[in-house]
């Protein structure tokens, strides 16, 4: 996604920060900026990512985010192995891992998130993509959770989010074998929702999609995301009740009234970003 590389750090960091953020109109683009390491996740990314999300969630002029990787070879190949050599007691390691839930920041992020995947999407990189609301990928993308081959398991959500997304049987196949799959297979499994064919621009399509979402009533987008995500945690009756409660809140908003008036008047709606 070279089209998105002309970016700046969100805060004053080194000349080449591991995480870059750019805002275009009402969309923020977060780029994992370690192209020479295939955008492997280091401690800087783990520390910075939740802070960036918190800032973007508070920003009223940001209505959607796109997460991608620098260069054309990889979205992200997972953790930087050079930073995983340390060992310790099980108690100390458990505390460390539990406090290192940087990807979980996406679970509390209220705005729609899009993973724009180019090239390798492996390990923690796939777990990052799984935590996003929408996954869009180029046809050359390759997916996998190879942690078992390293004597580990995916522990940034892979064992939990993947079965919820594609079903237990298919998820166990990928988790136990650690095999990599091509983009078309990932699309067929439902791992990604949009596949960009060769010759088309992943950057252009992800930007078009994000702008389309950003143009919609913000509260409605946030609430439909909340209701759908909560479906994994609620029984059907509680989920249906949540739907109706959120609908009641939306019914008297300016954007809902504007949408109805625009429809009746046969004119484009002008939403207020409530």
Catalytic positions, please?
127, 147
Burial zone of 267 (CB within 10 Å; 0-12 exposed, 13-18 middle, 19+ buried): exposed
Secondary structure class of 272 (helix, strand, coil): coil
> What are the residue ranges of helices labelled H in 32-84?
43-58
Handedness of CA 85, 89, 90, 92 (dihedral sign): negative
Alpha-carbon distance 143 to 137, whole Å? 10
Note the Cα 10 to chain centre separation in Å. 18
- Residue 170's nearest CA partner among 152, 197, 188, 149 is 188
3-state class of 219 per DSSP? helix
Contacts of 72 (CB under 8 A, 6+ apart): 1, 2, 118, 119
* DSSP at 8: B
């Amino acid at each position: 996604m070279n089209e998105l590389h002309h970016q700046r750090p969100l805060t004053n960091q080194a000349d080449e920060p591991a995480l870059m953020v750019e805002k275009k109109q009402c969309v923020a683009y977060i780029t994992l900026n370690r192209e020479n390491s295939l955008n492997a996740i280091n401690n800087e990314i783990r520390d910075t990512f939740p802070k960036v999300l918190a800032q973007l969630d508070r920003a009223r002029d940001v209505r959607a985010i796109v997460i991608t990787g620098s260069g054309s070879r990889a979205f992200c190949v997972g953790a930087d192995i050079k930073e995983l050599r340390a060992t310790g007691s099980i108690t100390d390691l458990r505390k460390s891992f539990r406090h290192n839930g940087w990807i979980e920041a996406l679970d509390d992020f209220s705005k729609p998130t899009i993973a724009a995947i180019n090239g390798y999407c492996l390990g923690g990189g796939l777990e990052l993509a799984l935590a996003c609301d929408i996954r869009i990928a180029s046809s050359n993308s390759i997916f996998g959770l190879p942690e078992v081959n390293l004597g580990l398991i995916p522990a940034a959500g892979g064992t939990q989010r993947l079965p919820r997304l594609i079903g237990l049987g298919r998820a166990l196949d990928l988790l136990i074998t650690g095999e990599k799959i091509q983009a078309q297979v990932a699309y067929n499994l439902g791992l990604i929702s949009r596949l960009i064919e060769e010759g088309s621009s992943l950057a252009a399509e992800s930007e078009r999609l994000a702008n389309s979402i950003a143009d919609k009533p913000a509260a409605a987008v946030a609430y439909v995301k909340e209701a759908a995500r909560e479906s994994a945690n609620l029984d059907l009756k509680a989920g249906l009740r949540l739907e109706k409660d959120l609908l009641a809140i939306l019914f008297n908003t300016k954007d809902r009234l504007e949408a109805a008036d625009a429809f009746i008047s046969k004119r484009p709606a002008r939403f207020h970003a409530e």
